[in-house]
Structure 1
């Protein structure tokens, strides 16, 4: 019985793991990409949410730079880079509804059926970070990765930095696509 509970817990945790949503052009040879630069217009600042600020933008850029360099790419100027990096962020409010039903039946000298329903709602913010890789020569999108996650409020700067690093590492775990094979 204990082994069944442990197996169920492991499956539940695996199902809850945040995996990125990745799409790419299969005709592209990603082995040719060695250098990267940022799109000059790349910015998160106008996303319209207080959690997306110049401080958050700096964290995201630093995390992307670190991950791409860990993947063997080298920063370059925009005119000579193999690929240009762009990113987008959005924040949506979602509602979670929990419903609890209670039914009860027979009693001494009384037959009947009762049913009680209690519902509670919770609003929360979900953020989505999208990272695009564009071939500079053709100006075509060749790879896109995204991750969605529940945003936490009242975090310290260190907690925010860690969350950004984890999100970017998860997204870029599939870049270049040869790593997925």
Structure 2
């Protein structure tokens, strides 16, 4: 299926917007991961990105979001001793998606109702109490990173970040993406070496 230039640009805009949900909440995104137990992840020595994350075709080009995600994932894997090479032991893919969400909150409210006119005369009894409900809509973004055993053709680890989207700050996209990818890889079965400041 061919995508029109407009739909490609719309998709890329979603990816750029979705990528920065990472630091949208004060507490950060929710991170979780699953992995295949019984696998010694330290035995993997090389990795490569899946073809699906690479641009294809004459007019294809790599978006900044795609570039920064690959940079960040590459940094995390190489820091764990893996080398990037074609036909690696591990194949790495990622996917960004968005979903519209609605939330509602109720709080007590004081409602003068019909008797509110009495306040104009200096007395105000007969006030009614009720609840006030506020409904808000927001966009939730999800970033999935998949790590596949190339020989077995089996997913061996998946890291996920889920959070509210926020407006991107100018020139902060790379840093935001790197920060979230780093948080996701804190769940990876092989830890990155500790960096000691001197």
Fold match (TM-score > 0.5): yes
Quote how far apart the aligned CAs of 1:123 are: 1.6
Partner of 1:39: 50
TM-score (norm 2): 0.67
In structure 1, the gaps of 5 or more residues are 1-14, 45-52
Whether 2:185 is the aligned partner of 1:172: answer yes
Quote how far apart the aligned CAs of 1:19 are: 4.5
Q: Equivalent of 2:164, from 140, 150, 167? A: 150
Return the structure number with greater relative CO, CA threshold 8 A, min gap 6: 2
User: For the structure 1 residues 178 and 38, does the alpha-carbon distance in structure 2 shift closer, same or farther, using more than 3 Å as the test?
Assistant: closer
Q: Is the 8 A contact 2:93 2:147 kept in 1?
A: yes
Partner of 2:146: 132
In structure 2, the gaps of 5 or more residues are 1-25, 56-61, 112-122, 193-198
Q: Is the 8 A contact 2:29 2:164 kept in 1?
A: no
Q: Equivalent of 2:174, from 156, 161, 180? A: 161
Q: Which runs of 4+ in 1 moved over 6 A?
A: none
User: For the structure 1 residues 170 and 40, does the alpha-carbon distance in structure 2 shift closer, same or farther, using more than 3 Å as the test?
Assistant: same
TM-score (norm 1): 0.72
Structure with max Cα Rg = 2
Quote how far apart the aligned CAs of 1:129 are: 0.4
User: For the structure 1 residues 25 and 118, does the alpha-carbon distance in structure 2 shift closer, same or farther, using more than 3 Å as the test?
Assistant: same
Aligned Cα RMSD in Å?
A: 3.0
Whether 2:89 is the aligned partner of 1:82: answer yes
1:48-75 superposed Cα distances (whole Å, 9 cap, x missing partner): xxxxx82211111111111111222111
Q: Equivalent of 1:62, from 66, 71, 77? A: 71
Partners of 1:24 and 1:154 in 2: how far apart? Answer: 31
Partners of 1:169 and 1:132 in 2: how far apart? Answer: 14
Partner of 1:9: none
Partner of 1:6: none
> How many residues in Structure 1 have an aligned counterpart in Structure 2?
153
Whether 2:132 is the aligned partner of 1:121: answer no
